[in-house]
A and B are shown apart, each in its own frame.
Chain A
Amino acid sequence: MKLLDINFEEFKEQKALLQKLKSMGMPTPKTEHYRYFGIKPIFDKEYTLSLPKTQRPEEADYIEIVDGSVVKAPKSFYIELQKNIKIDDSHYDQVYYLNHLLSERVIHIECEEDMEFKILHKHTLSNALVPYRIKLSIAPKKKVKVVEEHLVLAQDSLYFYGYDIDIKDGASLQLVQNRVSNLSDFALIAPHSIRCEKQSRFELFTFDFGTAKTLHNYHILLQEEANVDANHVIFASDEARIGNTLHIENRGKESKTTQLSRNILKDKARGIFDGLLIVKNPAKYSSIYQDSKTILLNDGAYMISKPQMEIYTEYITEATHGSTTGHIDEEALFYLRQRGIEESLAKEMIVISFLNEIFEKLGDKEIKEEFIKLYEEQQ
């Protein structure tokens, strides 16, 4: 089947979702957040729709999701497959609704305690369309850290997945999304919706390394005194198209958004950063900060960077944004070489230094080392 041929009659019980999708229409190359992604060839392909199976997970100290089915999970975890969850009614991405429509049951993980865990996604089916979704609820005042990794073994496939996250009053979530894919025929579209309640905190770190077609579309809402710190690293090569689009809405007063995007592009890769920060009228004394920087390692690589702000209040504490794209700083490179450091290592030092701010903020050595390894493999 082709995505565009889906018979929506089959889903007529899901009235609200269908209506949303109908009013927004399927994404086309003209849809703002898909404009640079090359959605048409992906949507035009023939796929076999493969819906996740329900099964009893094996016990493990992490969660493993294979093609949308939870196959491993810690025993103590409260995970259920839930129908008819409350969804975001103002997401800008129609695939969010499509994804929900196709994913009747949502994997629901409830975090009632302080906890840290890992989610491993395995994508193994070729020529398949695989939709699934995860709902994550963080109870008030709890601190949770989730690290997710993706292992891609599928070719010519399209996976839809994404989170519906609810961070309750005073709670905090650190979500580290580590996505590596070296299969150029694999596509992932991931619409996420995150609600940050009063005084909650959301830290997002995304690392996209590789050659695949990956697009993450985040809709983030901030209530009073909520705080989001979003950090994105893209290291794309070959003919990859990797992007992050975001709408972050500061809805409550004294809410705060900080966003860093660091991109390194090689070969004919295309990177997309399309971040819209919105401050609604009630969000007085909020602050928003956004900074996107890109290094192109060669001509032919291409970055689309669109940092944007919309502010609907007169009382704003800070609103700063900036975007730069360029090649490696030749003067810096020469400085290192003059000290006897060979050119390739000097380049590597500059590239790593460019990402250091994010690596250091996260304080995770493994991801930094993984990056260095990948970078060196490509030289």
Chain B
Amino acid sequence: MKIMEIKNLHAKIGEKEILKGIDLDMFEGKVHAIMGPNGAGKSTLSKTIVGHPDVEVTEGDIIYKGKSIINMEPEERALEGIFMSFQHPVEIPGVNNAYFLRTALNAKRKHQGLKPLNAAEFLKLLKAKIKELGMKEEMIHRSLNEGFSGGEKKLNEILQMEILEPDFVILDEIDSGLDIDALKKVSEAINNMRDGKRTFMIITHYRKILDYIEPDFVHVLKNGKVLKTGGIEIVDALEKEGYKIFGDA
């Protein structure tokens, strides 16, 4: 079943058109890998899906769970289950990591008609997840991403994904900057969350993470368009020849 259908999507940032007619179907429970050269528009596509205010959709549509989302507020999209791990997570000094996560989780629970978790209940849940990910416990008491190393920021994104249990997960270069052990942990965490219903859109430049995660589909994005859709064999071809084999959009 299609969970997201992107149809002839055109989008610009400022005056510059970056997405030039994206057509892409993504399916419930599947892992979609997105690859493409620097500047192809991968992050812009993610930002368009989550409703970043810098991006303006000029044509086309995004249908998620049967509804158009392009006019929804970012927080509504999030509450409907769309999660994006940022390529560059922002640092927010003064906002306590644990407090932030609990606020986010309780916003979601409220949306689902569940009662909020109190600090103690939440901390218990959080500590278990932290341990699984091999994160340092002190990180949850620090300010959100402040002074975190590149890898720690990425782990923190995964932690948020685990706590929020979204339905549609976009991981924008989650593997960049992770050491070998962290990459394994993150891949395990992602695999553990593959439950046949949750959909993943994994943006990456490297084969390594795809060896752990084994995507169902690989899409090649270049110059604001999807040039090719297939399986893992696409990655093999890319490794040998580079992006030029798919020509220009």
Contacts and interface: CB of A to CB of B under 8 A. Distances in A.
Interface string A331-361: 1101111111111011001101111110000
B114 interface: no
Interface string B174-191: 000000000000000000
Contacts of A355: 94
Contact of A330 (B53, B111, B160, B164): B53
Contact of B84 (A338, A356, A357): A338
B94 A352 contact: yes
Interface residues of A, number: 24
Given A330-B53, A334-B53, A349-B100, A340 B93 contact: no
B103 interface: yes
A341 B107 contact: yes
A332 B92 contact: yes
Interface residues of B, number: 26
Contact of A335 (B92, B103, B111): B92
Nearest to B110: A340
Given A334-B74, A353-B95, A341 B103 contact: yes
B50 A354 contact: no
B160 A339 contact: yes
Contact of B90 (A335, A342, A357): A335
Nearest to A349: B95
A233 to B, nearest CB: 13
B90 A329 contact: yes
A337 B94 contact: no
A339 B164 contact: yes
Interface in B3-38: none
B50 A338 contact: yes
B75 interface: yes
Interface string A187-225: 000000000000000000000000000000000000000
B79 interface: yes
A331 B95 contact: no
B73 interface: yes
B89 A335 contact: yes
A343 B73 contact: yes
Contacts of A343: 73, 75
B52 interface: yes
Interface in A297-350: 329-332, 334-343, 345-346, 349-350
A359 to B, nearest CB: 9
Contacts of B94: 352-357
A54 to B, nearest CB: 47
Nearest to A357: B94
Nearest to A335: B90
A151 B103 CA distance: 34
Contacts of B108: 340
Nearest to A351: B94
Contact of B107 (A330, A332, A334, A342): A342
Contact of A339 (B93, B104, B111, B143): B104
B148 interface: no
A334 B52 contact: yes
Contacts of B243: none
Contacts of A342: 75, 107
B86 interface: yes
Contact of A337 (B74, B83, B92): B74
A169 to B, nearest CB: 36
B221 interface: no
Interface string B69-81: 0000111001100
Nearest to B166: A340
Nearest 10 interchain pairs by C-beta: A353-B94, A356-B94, A340-B78, A339-B104, A337-B74, A353-B95, A340-B107, A337-B75, A335-B90, A340-B79
Interface of A: 329-332, 334-343, 345-346, 349-350, 352-357
